[in-house]
Amino acid sequence: MTLYIVFAIAIVLVIIVIKLPGNKKIIPEQTIPEIDIKKILTAQVLFFNKLNQADQEIFIARVLYFLATTKISPEKGAIITDEHRVLVAASATIPLFHFDQWSYENLDEVIIYPDYFNEKFDVSEKKRSILGMVGDGAMHRKMILSLPALLEGYSRYATSNTAIHEFVHLIDKADGAIDGVPEYLIPKELVQPWLQEMHETIQEIHKNKSDIRDYAATNEAEFLAVVSEYFFQKPKMLQEDHPELFSLLNEIYGKHL
């Protein structure tokens, strides 16, 4: 009898492990009912609405997995709801959606601040311009997002998306260097063409000859993060205005379109 129970438990465990897209530890208290997740995604996330039904199911499973394995913690007086949690998880899911094997192995916690912040992590001083960041040092394996920036990314006509931007930095960081070359995603033969396209476009931005946000010209890492925002928020616009850039990003993100 006991042996049967052991077997039954073993089978259930195997099924759970196989069904999950990664192997991270489960945080039981963070679950949100699937039906609520679907409602929030349908109401707010254009990327989700464009998927067919089967892909929507996969998307929801990944949101659930992210929520079950990544702490989302309000700090400095922020108040967060299930909707905010789902939007964080959606932002994590979007850039890696076309890869079967995925999970953010370099992230344990997303901290939500009530507003923009500064280098001292202050949310009340006058000068504050940081919308989100991927932590380093003591903040290693943590990401900070300001709540208004998270929500702004999912407002109707947004071309930017802070949360997606920060998750792209994490993807870039996974190979050890935040350098604008996401080595786990980019096919080897495209590294050179990507670097060339990146440097040419950065030059154009410097000469005011590009409609891409100036911030993309800060360095290679910011370039990848900013153009990825465009790619996921306004793919058609990027394809029309920057076909080369679009087709390289399309290869990097696993033939998104």
| Site residues for Zn ion per CB under 5 A | 222, 225
CB of 61 to Zn ion, least distance (A): 28
DSSP state of 126: S
Q: How far apart are CA 1 and CA 91, in angstroms?
A: 46
CB of 168 to Zn ion, least distance (A): 8
- Closer to Zn ion at the Cβ: 64 or 163? 163
Dihedral Cα 152, 51, 234, 33, nearest 10 deg? 10
- Closer to Zn ion at the Cβ: 45 or 225? 225
Q: Residue 168: CB partners within 8 Å, gap ≥ 6?
A: 95, 182, 224, 225, 228, 229
Q: How far apart are CA 122 and CA 240, in angstroms?
A: 40
CB of 123 to Zn ion, least distance (A): 19
Contact by Cβ (8 Å): 79, 148: no
CB of 142 to Zn ion, least distance (A): 15
Q: How far apart are CA 213 and CA 186, in angstroms?
A: 23
Contact by Cβ (8 Å): 95, 168: yes
Vertex 174 angle, CA 169 and 175, to 5°: 115
- Closer to Zn ion at the Cβ: 37 or 149? 149
- Closer to Zn ion at the Cβ: 220 or 222? 222
- Closer to Zn ion at the Cβ: 32 or 225? 225
- Of the candidates 67, 61, 63, the one whose C-alpha atom is nearest the C-alpha of residue 19 is 61
CB of 34 to Zn ion, least distance (A): 32
